[in-house]
């Protein structure tokens, strides 16, 4: 399919249309410090179409016409705005869609980055943030194919991967972490941020909010000398 004249893919009066939703979500995320200075972003899968933001732009100022649209099966771009390049996070978003996600959010939240600095790097072992007995853990699903969310006494585990010089080079380690932690809906990237995905936009957003709350709390707990887990 020619990439020209595909504007119908991004033109809609419906605020829930992915092209509109990515813009409104990123404007909200900017106010939380999640996507400032062009970092971070959001991608949505809508049936066989993947909506992707441009790379290196102010994410809070994007317009629907800035959006790239990819056909999921073929990985071909159906719409490619000539003035932009697609987000460097695209292969990572696709890795989440390959796991059944409907939306993937990447933030550069300082709370997420601080957590990756507080969990020590253990060479030869996969690093992981762990916390339990915090009410907000109930905002995170038990795992893919499992019913319901974690309970108060469950332990939340979020794997941490090492950062790379270029965002797209994170794909291999992100995919590996997804395989090592099949129940996870998020992967932290050391000194960088986090990728959070969900079955749909609502779940990706609320999970991202719950995790950010937990990370902020965990940083404060560490400052106060309080443990994240019972042992
Ligand atoms: C200052 S942002 C550096 C790149 C990055 O980490 C990021 O998340 C943004 O990538 P994009 O290509 O979507 O602008
Ligand atoms: Zn990033």
How confident is the model over 43-52, as pLDDT tens digits?
999 999 999 9
Query: Does the C-beta of 84 come closer than 6 Å to ligand 1?
Result: no
How confident is the model over 22-79, as pLDDT tens digits?
999 999 999 999 999 999 999 999 999 999 999 999 999 999 999 999 999 999 999 9
Query: Does the C-beta of 227 come closer than 6 Å to ligand 1?
Result: no
How confident is the model over 77-135, as pLDDT tens digits?
999 999 999 999 999 999 999 999 999 999 999 999 999 999 998 888 899 999 999 99
Residue 106 marked as a ligand binder: yes
CA dist., res. 60 & res. 26, Å (int): 5
CATH value of 108-231 in 3.40.50.920, 3.40.50.11030, 1.20.140.10, 3.40.225.10: 3.40.225.10
Two tokens at 171? 């794909």
The full set of domain ranges for the chain reads 1-87, 108-231
CA dist., res. 31 & res. 15, Å (int): 19
CA dist., res. 69 & res. 73, Å (int): 12
Q: What is the CA radius of gyration of the chain?
A: 18
Q: Which of 65, 133, 135, 172 is catalytic?
A: 135
Nearest protein Cα to ligand 1, atom 13: 87
Two tokens at 25? 């979500």
Query: Does the C-beta of 91 come closer than 6 Å to ligand 1?
Result: no
Q: Is 135 labeled as catalytic in the residue annotation?
A: yes
Residue 192 marked as a ligand binder: yes
ipTM: 0.99
Question: What's the CATH superfamily of 1-87?
Answer: Class II aldolase/adducin N-terminal domain (3.40.225.10)
Q: Which ligand lies nearest to the CA atom of residue 37 in the structure?
A: 1
Residue 46 marked as a ligand binder: no
Query: Does the C-beta of 56 come closer than 6 Å to ligand 1?
Result: yes
């Amino acid at each position: 399919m020619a990439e020209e004249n595909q504007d119908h893919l991004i033109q809609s009066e419906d605020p829930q249309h992915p092209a509109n939703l990515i813009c409104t979500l990123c404007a909200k995320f900017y106010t939380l410090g999640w996507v400032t200075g062009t970092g971070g972003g959001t991608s949505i899968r809508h049936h066989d179409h993947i909506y992707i933001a441009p790379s290196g732009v102010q994410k809070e100022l994007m317009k629907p016409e800035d959006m790239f649209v990819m056909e999921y099966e073929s990985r071909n771009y159906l719409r490619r705005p000539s003035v932009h390049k697609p987000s460097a996070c695209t292969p990572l978003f696709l890795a989440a869609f390959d796991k059944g996600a409907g939306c993937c959010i990447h933030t550069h939240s300082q709370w997420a980055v601080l957590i990756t600095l507080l969990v020590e790097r253990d060479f030869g072992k996969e690093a992981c943030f762990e916390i339990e007995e915090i009410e907000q853990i109930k905002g995170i699903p038990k795992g893919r194919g499992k019913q319901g969310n974690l309970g108060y006494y469950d332990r939340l585990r979020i794997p941490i991967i090492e950062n790379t010089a270029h965002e797209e080079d994170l794909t291999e380690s992100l995919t590996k972490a997804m395989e090592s932690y099949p129940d996870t809906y998020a992967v932290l990237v050391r000194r960088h941020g986090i990728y959070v995905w969900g079955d749909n936009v609502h779940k990706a957003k609320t999970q991202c909010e719950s995790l950010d709350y937990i990370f902020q709390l965990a940083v404060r707990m560490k400052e106060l000398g309080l443990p994240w887990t019972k042992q």
